[in-house]
Amino acid sequence: MKTVVINTSAIKRTWHLIDANGLVLGRLASQAATLLTGKRKRAFSPNQDHGDHVIVINAGKVRLTGKKADMKTYFSHSTKPGRERIRTYKSVLQADSRKVIRHAVHGMVPKSALGRKMLKRLHVYPDAQHPHTGVTLEK
């Protein structure tokens, strides 16, 4: 069996639509990360970008299981001492629900220039309306 190496100009990218209404955050993020990395494609190789475009709608209606909605926190800081900021899941979801999904998917893609390139193809929208109406979507 030979290793298949595809030229980057020959990679075909499709668009996938995921409705986050009632879905669990982690399962949604793993599904989106798999589509973004292209791991289900036949010619997948970890050093090439074979991923597809992913549109996530209804980001504000995503849910967590158990007590995670009350206990989950997001940590960020500047480089100065004492400038850390800890936010709860509910406050981040209320302020900008797109950040919750983007943060979860970011944790599941490679931490490199290739991963940053993959994240550019993730399109998250807080409600059911999105501007990508002209493309052919796979659900």
CA distances in angstroms from 15 to 2, 32, 99, 134, listed in the order given: 29, 11, 21, 11
| DSSP labels, 8-46 | GGG----EEEEE-TT-BHHHHHHHHHHHHHTTTSTT--T
User: What integer pLDDT is reported at residue 139 of this predicted model?
Assistant: 63
Class of domain 13-64+97-126: alpha beta
Angle between helices 25-37 and 97-106 (to 10 degrees): 60
For the entire predicted model, the pTM comes to 0.88
Query: Can you give the pLDDT of all 139 residues of the chain as single tens digits?
Result: 677 778 888 888 899 999 999 999 999 999 999 999 999 988 888 888 889 999 999 999 999 999 999 999 999 998 899 889 999 999 999 999 999 999 999 999 999 999 999 999 999 999 999 988 767 776 6
> Residue 100: what residue type?
V
DSSP-based three-state secondary structure for 112: coil
